[in-house]
């Protein structure tokens, strides 16, 4: 925040227009290499393949050979992803089924590979479909793929969304001001809320005096923790994107106010959801196929969504869990959920919380034990002194977290701004001038004083 970003911004703004993408590319590669030197070459190789296949697909578009080049691009990208992310998972499961002892490869997952692989895939597919023209400048394509604000944890930015910006984009104080606000608010989500809520989860796992209420405290805390962690990163990426003239699409839209699981997945990690919709679900036939085939399509998409998050059975089960809920809603649940906004919101939040308990479990056994314990099965007390102590200690954080997960603050701010007199606008401008720098100072103090807390989605 206080060295890398200022240096990059200075170099970027003093650079001539034709060199801005080069500055962005070089700074992004330095950023990536700082934490992942060994796999920077893998990133560059992936980009080179994407660049070459994009040109070949574009040149032969409309011919059979174009489909061949697209297939090669898909195979190459998925081969890299499967080798580094899933090889040991497949080997260990093969050993478990056959009783053999095939040695594990013990590969290390390159940072951001899930995100940049999907961006390269969407680019080559869109070129094949004719939605975008192949990028003739390697530097421009590489700058898009490696752009450091969103390189390692999303959102998944499609080439079609930034195609025009790569060649012609505007910069202004207004964009920089908006970017600053968005970046600082995202940072506050991460440092002041996500990290604090994560402490509850760590304390729970280390505790020897668990209770039913403590399990629910953990489940609710983790549900808020992952939202503020990931949406905070997305806000920071969108904010930084504005500094460089790019308008990244939103990745979250207050998912915890959803009235169904269907609505939840339209609001949560939207860049991933729309990616699977456009590049997997619709090509499989979407909902324009017989009923049983549609069910199959949903199960495939959500199994892959689970696998995208990690090479663990918990993620696969988590994906299929949501697939079943979506299928049930499609069959009959949605028409009943529309009858009561309150009950529908309770229903959606309840099943989302259960889903994230599965998501965060180390294995399926722990996931089952956690859910089992949440409903009072076993010898656990309803509540304990330790539970009461931590509920009191973190009550303020939980209340602020619940409030911040709703659009209440945004609605209040918009109402104040919309007042006919200029008083509302001036009030909000003064508040922003005070609150944003104050949040930055507080977050900095927490970062200086605290331990290293990486973003959760770095692992994916």
Residues catalogued as catalytic: 309
* Cα–Cα dist 12/243, whole Å: 10
DSSP string, 396-456: HHHHHHHHHTSSHHHHHHHHHHTSSSTHHHHHHHHHHHHHHHHHHHHHHHHHHHS-----G
* Cα–Cα dist 83/103, whole Å: 14
DSSP string, 58-109: HHTTTSHHHHHHHHHHHHHHHHHHHHHHHHHHHHHHHHHHH---PPP--PPP
- Residue-level length of the chain: 460
Q: Which residue has the tokens 């009550």?
A: 395
Cα 129 to Cα 49, 122, 137: the distances in Å are: 18, 10, 20
Can you state the angle between helices 364-374 and 313-328, rounded to 10 degrees? Answer: 50
Structure letter (DSSP) for residue 16? -
* Cα–Cα dist 152/376, whole Å: 40
* Cα–Cα dist 251/385, whole Å: 40
Helix (H, G, I), strand (E, B) or coil at 172: coil
Q: Which residues make Cβ contacts (< 8 Å) with residue 258, sequence separation at least 6?
A: 264, 266, 267, 345, 348, 349, 352
What end-to-end distance do the CA atoms of the chain give, in Å?
23
The two structure tokens encoding residue 376: 């009072």
Spell out the alpha helix ranges (H) of 250-340. Answer: 261-267, 270-276, 291-309, 313-328, 334-337
Q: ω into residue 155 within 30 of 0, thus cis? A: yes
Q: Which residues make Cβ contacts (< 8 Å) with residue 337, sequence separation at least 6?
A: 259, 260, 329, 343, 344, 347
DSSP string, 355-411: HHHHHH-SSHHHHHHHHHHHTT-SS--S--HHHHHHHHHTHHHHHHHHHHTSSHHHH
């Amino acid at each position: 925040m206080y060295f890398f970003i200022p240096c990059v911004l200075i170099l970027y703004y003093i650079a001539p227009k034709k060199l801005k993408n080069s500055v962005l590319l070089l700074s992004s590669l330095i950023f990536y290499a700082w934490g992942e030197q060994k796999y920077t070459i893998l990133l560059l190789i992936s980009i080179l393949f994407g660049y070459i296949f994009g040109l070949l697909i574009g040149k032969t578009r409309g011919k059979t050979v174009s489909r061949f080049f697209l297939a090669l691009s898909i195979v190459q990208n998925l081969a890299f992803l499967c080798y580094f992310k899933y090889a040991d998972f497949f080997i260990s499961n093969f050993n478990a089924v056959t009783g053999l002892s095939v040695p594990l490869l013990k590969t290390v997952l390159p940072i951001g590979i899930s995100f940049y692989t999907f961006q390269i895939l969407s680019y080559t597919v869109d070129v094949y479909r004719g939605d975008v023209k192949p990028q003739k400048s390697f530097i421009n394509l590489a700058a898009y793929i490696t752009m450091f604000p969103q390189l390692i944890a999303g959102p998944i930015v499609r080439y079609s969304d930034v195609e025009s910006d790569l060649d012609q984009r505007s910069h202004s104080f207004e964009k920089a001001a908006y970017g600053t606000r968005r970046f600082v608010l995202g940072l506050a989500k991460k440092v002041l809320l996500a990290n604090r809520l994560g402490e509850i989860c760590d304390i729970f796992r280390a505790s020897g005096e668990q209770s039913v209420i403590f399990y629910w405290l953990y489940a609710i805390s983790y549900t808020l923790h992952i939202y503020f962690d990931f949406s905070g990163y997305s806000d920071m990426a969108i904010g930084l994107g504005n500094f460089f003239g790019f308008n990244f699409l939103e990745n979250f839209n207050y998912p915890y106010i959803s009235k169904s699981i269907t609505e939840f997945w339209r609001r949560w990690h939207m860049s991933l959801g729309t990616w699977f919709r456009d590049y997997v679900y619709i090509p499989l036939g979407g909902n324009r196929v017989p009923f049983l085939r549609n069910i199959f399509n949903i199960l495939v998409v959500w199994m892959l969504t689970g696998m995208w998050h990690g090479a663990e059975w918990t993620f696969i089960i988590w994906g299929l869990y949501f697939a079943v809920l979506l299928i049930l809603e499609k069959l009959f649940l949605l028409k009943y959920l529309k009858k009561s906004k309150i009950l529908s919101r309770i229903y959606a939040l309840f099943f989302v919380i259960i889903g994230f308990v599965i998501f965060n479990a180390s294995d399926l056994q722990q996931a089952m034990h956690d859910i089992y314990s949440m409903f009072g099965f076993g010898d656990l007390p309803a509540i304990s002194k330790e539970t009461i102590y931590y509920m009191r200690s973190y009550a303020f954080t939980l209340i602020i977290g619940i409030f911040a997960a709703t659009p209440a603050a945004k609605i209040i701010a918009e109402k104040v701004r919309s007042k006919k007199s200029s008083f509302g606008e001036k009030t909000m401008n003064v508040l922003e001038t005070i609150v944003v720098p104050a949040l930055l100072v507080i977050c900095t103090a927490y970062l200086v004083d605290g331990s290293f807390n990486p973003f959760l989605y770095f692992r994916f």
